[in-house]
Chain A
């Protein structure tokens, strides 16, 4: 029987694998190396290093043979030779051979280790049920940790989550003893793996809170358990601060001399909301000390960062660099696809989606790519179909859910969008985006209370997303708290400036800030803001109407008319602009003689007073019409396909995207980037 768990820190301990590993290298390298790799040469040259591995192997003898030298192969017993055969067959994926021989060894020796290895063979071959049977028949899974792990794996594959949970236990049984015993063989501690699989089971059982704790435990037990770390980070299970806290708790001693390297790698992996300087330090270190600057994962984290800062072009370039080396790097693809959507690279999206579908027809990302493509050519129904397909293939695929929700949002189906976003937000408790989108949906439904709640909870996760800040500003604008609205808009602007994002993203913030100033009667400032908007985009009639209104209030009819004129030339059915134009022209008719011919001062002032009174009506009228934030409802209906002539109102909500149809992928991408 294998020894107690504290002795068996990893599968290496009980495996003939250890021996065979060295044996493999010994056998394959000296005469006909597969690859001219320096590592292999070392391994063959220095037998002490291989000796290390064998130190703890309990061995059925097979190990002993390998650690001495290669001619010792002849000294092996019959069973040991068979074991070598079995193992080699397994390594070369001759599963039938391995099974056949493994069975014979087991019958010969009746050794539980051989049973374990037979189970391994069966597992590799996809015979989960048989493997599970084998393990439980000999009662192995109650006595050996590695067997328990393997049978839990089998049950996972068989989707019998409750049974699996019974086997691994609801909590970590080795909590007290194993925590900080250093693993001497350099492998991953089995305790960590058990914690990880427990976490996975909980995740599949939809108990994300427990799953998170288990993953955390796993990575704390052994920092080398990357999968647990990846699972947490990829799915945004932790809030940004929690992530950093976790990182600081990790014990990188386990990775020996690689501790620093691993730490730097992990640092680049986690979120970029906070501690930007540490991130840069880590990146620099990887680049300079380890020369990993060109490694895919390091590049990817850089691309993600750029993506989060809305520098899509640069992010795209890096993604392409990665994909040149590794055509279907699944970690990179979501970011890549989102970048393409953002930039409008429909053609490349099309091609990528096609290639993905051809090579990975059963992978959720292929269908995500197709969905994004349809979204970017504005065919919402098709897009929805493919997002749905993607999420069916992998129910935990949050991006697909968000894309799915976006298709509803784009068509103004708020209820459905909200339920889809809620699903997404369950998968990603650590990112602010689903809550943000929920808030946006409620805002569009004019449910200010819920909207505020969601947006504030989103704000508690991330305080520096200009889109979020803008939304908050919009809420306060609606609630008539103009000072707070101004505050949020200015914050949004300064953030946008800091991350130096695309100037397009700024225009809605400027426009909204302009409206706030207008309502606060700070006309010169408002004009300044609108001016800025016009420099980015001069094709928005609402901005011109707003400028016209301000000039009207200032009593400058000529300028007012001029701007309204622009507004009407862009959209000659704009009712607000038309109404304002009529007023301005009336004013002009009344006072022009005094104004521009004889410039009789007193009458002019009398006029402007009357004008202000008149404008209070206009203003009220305005409130219901021109201002960015009202009658969104109407706009949604008008622009239900999220097309080009979105008005300020909606743009206010979509703002960061600048490009109107893009808030969708914005979501996808940002989620990716976390």
Chain B
């Protein structure tokens, strides 16, 4: 219980630290976490908070310390920041040497640079979009680096490290950025924005596991047993989020999820993670239930509701999606999440232009709105505007390398353009991210097929088949038929025969006929005919009753001939 109290007080203190440094989102997250914790009966909840703080010795957590001169200036700068006068905030702190003041100064410079860039670029995908860049970033990097060189003590400020990390990330120096973010987390693990940025920067699962390993062992080593509890909880939360993003479905993950749910029973963030995990496990109903629960408890929440709308879209729940869109609009029309939800709604109604408009709006509101880029790409595909689709998928993978849908979309788009080398590469990328998805393997197989790499193609198709064991049949048939065809091309008729037979077996077992199965039937009939196995040929050709008239005609011919031969032999 003591540990829980400690976690509480840590979260409390982190809220004030984060909000005075204007890291609003992180502060909000901390506050939600604090309020999402179990209400403890044992703890006298009416104990005066201040008293409480006094009795429990606080903690090895980073806090802001300022001397009086810095303090006044810092307060002034904060008010400017609050009034969104970022350049003014920067100027007032220009000569400050306190590390927190420096953080706020550079942070406001970063934001002002972003705003200016936004104005210059005339919106996402606008005419100037690619040429514009945030001009403050080099200045910030240079200043931080010279600070670090000048005085090592600045390296001890977690927030300067955080800022260094995010600017490096924008310059795509990923490994350096990760180092900076990890350092920041070691110094102050309660900055959720920092966790998000770190998780963002990770591009494969091995890397992720290494990083978390590293963090865990750091906290195990550097803290005595009693105090590291809350830090470890933060690591667990980060890890949960990260594994979720990598589509993991291990039992370990479920265990951790449940463990965290014990501590934070009403913390929406964890519920959403749970929902997303079940979404990735294709358990849509479960997922929907969780989101419903979140909405009832927190009806005005917009964060992450765009994910919910994606789920509703996949489930084709049109009325519910419409309800959600209305609700979101009534809460705040100008949130990127709202725009995404509305766009999803239009997409479901096949109003693709409108959908694109709303995705764009979402991107204007937040350039890094992850799903919007990908979804916009899908819309462009629907409109047969392949080049625009490629552009938005590209931007999607630029902002989030882990989005396998965008990679897959890129592959598809290039396939439409008949650029199979390109699409191969993108499918491979998607495959790295989701190696267990049979659709991707099938696409890969198709690609290799087109590139005349038949062996590779067969490998991919087989893998796809293997992974597809338990879902719909029609796909299986297609794949089997493709494999058979490839073997035919390679002139390996015995193998081809095997697979053609399998195709037919699918038909017989499931009693579902379609073009492919009848083609297989015809092929088998011809095959047997060539071998002179008249009985078999007759057997296959006999039941041929679907397909084009030409095929049926052909089958009849074979059947007739076989019958004659059989009669001839018996006679």
A residues adjacent to B (C-beta < 8 A): 503-504, 531, 534-539, 561, 565-566, 569-570, 582, 585-586, 588-589, 592-593, 596-597, 644-645
Contacts and interface: CB of A to CB of B under 8 A. Distances in A.
B421 A585 contact: yes
Interface string B124-157: 0000001101000010011000000000000000
Nearest to A596: B428
Given A503-B142, A536-B138, A569-B394, A588 B168 contact: no
A538 B172 contact: yes
A588 B131 contact: no
Contacts of A561: 425
B61 interface: no
B456 interface: yes
| Interface pairs A-B: 8 shortest CB-CB | A585-B421, A503-B142, A593-B456, A538-B171, A535-B171, A539-B133, A536-B138, A589-B421
B21 interface: no
30 contacts: A503-B138, A503-B142, A504-B138, A534-B172, A535-B141, A535-B168, A535-B171, A536-B138, A538-B170, A538-B172, A539-B131, A539-B133, A561-B425, A569-B130, A569-B394, A569-B395, A569-B398, A582-B421, A585-B422, A585-B424, A585-B425, A589-B424, A589-B425, A589-B451, A593-B453, A593-B455, A593-B456, A593-B459, A644-B131, A645-B131
Contacts of B168: 535
A503 B130 CA distance: 23
A528 to B, nearest CB: 11
Contacts of A597: 459
A535 B425 CA distance: 27
A537 B425 contact: no
A565 B407 CA distance: 12
Nearest to B395: A569
B119 interface: no
B173 A531 contact: yes
Contacts of B142: 503
A601 B492 CA distance: 28
Residue from the set A586, A588, A593 with the largest chain B CB neighbour count within 10 Å: A593
Given A585-B421, A589-B451, A592-B428, A537 B172 contact: no
B404 to A, nearest CB: 15
Given A538-B171, A561-B425, A585-B424, 14 more contacts: A503-B141, A503-B142, A531-B173, A534-B171, A535-B141, A538-B172, A539-B131, A585-B421, A588-B424, A592-B424, A596-B428, A596-B432, A597-B459, A645-B131
A129 B425 CA distance: 87
Contact of A588 (B133, B398, B425): B425
Interface in B328-387: none
A589 B131 CA distance: 32
Residue from the set B170, B171, B395 with the largest chain A CB neighbour count within 10 Å: B171
A566 B425 contact: no
Nearest to A644: B131
A639 to B, nearest CB: 14
A119 to B, nearest CB: 59
Given A536-B138, A588-B425, A589-B451, A570 B173 contact: no
Given A589-B451, A644-B131, A534 B425 contact: no
A517 to B, nearest CB: 18
Interface string B443-472: 000000001010110010000000000000
Contacts of B141: 503, 535-536
A289 B421 CA distance: 76
Interface residues of B, number: 25
Interface in B146-193: 168, 170-173
Name the prevailing secondary structure of the A interface residues: helix
A579 B411 CA distance: 19
Interface string B292-336: 000000000000000000000000000000000000000000000
A538 B130 CA distance: 11
Residue from the set B173, B394, B395, B425 with the largest chain A CB neighbour count within 10 Å: B425
A328 B394 CA distance: 53
A267 to B, nearest CB: 30
Contacts of A566: 172
A238 to B, nearest CB: 36
Residue from the set B130, B170, B421 with the largest chain A CB neighbour count within 10 Å: B421
Contacts of B451: 589
Contacts of B425: 561, 585, 588-589
Contacts of B459: 593, 597
Residue from the set A582, A592, A644 with the largest chain B CB neighbour count within 10 Å: A592
A566 B399 CA distance: 12
A375 B133 CA distance: 23
Contact of B133 (A503, A538, A592): A538
A585 B428 CA distance: 11
A589 B172 contact: no
Nearest to B167: A535
A169 to B, nearest CB: 58
Nearest to A502: B142
Interface string B72-89: 000000000000000000
A646 to B, nearest CB: 12
Nearest to B451: A589
Interface string B410-450: 00000000000110110010001000000000000000000
A566 B395 CA distance: 10
Nearest to A570: B130
B452 to A, nearest CB: 10
A561 B427 CA distance: 13
Nearest to B422: A585
Contacts of A593: 453, 455-456, 459
A536 B451 CA distance: 40
A592 to B, nearest CB: 6
A597 B463 CA distance: 11
B75 to A, nearest CB: 27
A75 to B, nearest CB: 66
A212 B394 CA distance: 64
B424 A535 contact: no
A263 B421 CA distance: 74
A658 to B, nearest CB: 9
A126 B428 CA distance: 87
Contacts of B398: 569
Contacts of A534: 171-173
Contacts of B394: 565, 569
Nearest to A597: B459
A588 B425 CA distance: 7
Nearest to A592: B428
A588 B173 contact: no
B500 to A, nearest CB: 25
A589 B138 contact: no
A504 B133 CA distance: 15
B118 to A, nearest CB: 16
A569 B422 CA distance: 14
Nearest to A565: B394
A503 B142 CA distance: 7
Nearest to B410: A565
Contacts of B133: 538-539
Contacts of B170: 538
Given A504-B138, A593-B459, A586 B171 contact: no
A565 B410 CA distance: 12
Nearest to B397: A565
A504 B428 CA distance: 37
Nearest to B455: A593
Contacts of A592: 424, 428, 456
A585 B456 CA distance: 16
B110 to A, nearest CB: 15
Contacts of A644: 131
Given A593-B456, A593-B459, A537 B424 contact: no
Contacts of A570: 130
A5 B435 CA distance: 101
A589 B173 contact: no
A570 B130 CA distance: 6
A589 B450 CA distance: 11
